[in-house]
Chain A
Amino acid sequence: DTEVTQTPKHLVMGMTNKKSLKCEQHMGHRAMYWYKQKAKKPPELMFVYSYEKLSINESVPSRFSPECPNSSLLNLHLHALQPEDSALYLCASSPNPTINTEAFFGQGTRLTVV
Chain B
Amino acid sequence: GQQLNQSPQSMFIQEGEDVSMNCTSSSIFNTWLWYKQEPGEGPVLLIALYKAGELTSNGRLTAQFGITRKDSFLNISASIPSDVGIYFCAGQPRGSNYKLTFGKGTLLTVNP
List residues of chain A with CB under 8 Å of any chain B CB.
4, 6, 31, 33, 40-43, 45, 48, 50, 55-56, 88, 90, 92, 94, 97-98, 100-108, 110
Contact = CB atoms under 8 A, between A and B. Distances in A.
B102 A101 contact: no
Interface of B: 30-31, 33, 35, 40-45, 48, 50, 86, 88, 90, 92, 97-100, 102-105, 107
B99 A102 contact: no
B104 A41 contact: yes
B105 A102 contact: no
B10 to A, nearest CB: 10
Contacts of B88: 42-43
Given A40-B86, A40-B105, A100-B50, A45 B100 contact: yes
Nearest to A31: B98
B43 A45 contact: no
Nearest to B98: A48
Contacts, number: 69
B104 A42 contact: yes
SS class of chain A's interface: helix, strand, loop or mixed? Answer: strand
A110 B45 CA distance: 20
18 contacts: A6-B42, A41-B105, A42-B90, A42-B103, A42-B105, A43-B88, A45-B99, A50-B98, A88-B42, A90-B43, A98-B97, A103-B33, A104-B45, A105-B35, A107-B40, A107-B41, A108-B40, A108-B41
B43 A100 contact: no
Nearest to A104: B45
Nearest to A6: B42
B33 A102 contact: yes
A100 B92 contact: yes
Contact of A101 (B43, B99, B103): B99
Contacts of B86: 40
Among A90, A97, A101, residue most surrounded by chain B Cβ atoms (within 10 Å): A101
Among B33, B99, B104, B107, residue most surrounded by chain A Cβ atoms (within 10 Å): B99
Contact of A103 (B50, B97, B100, B104): B100
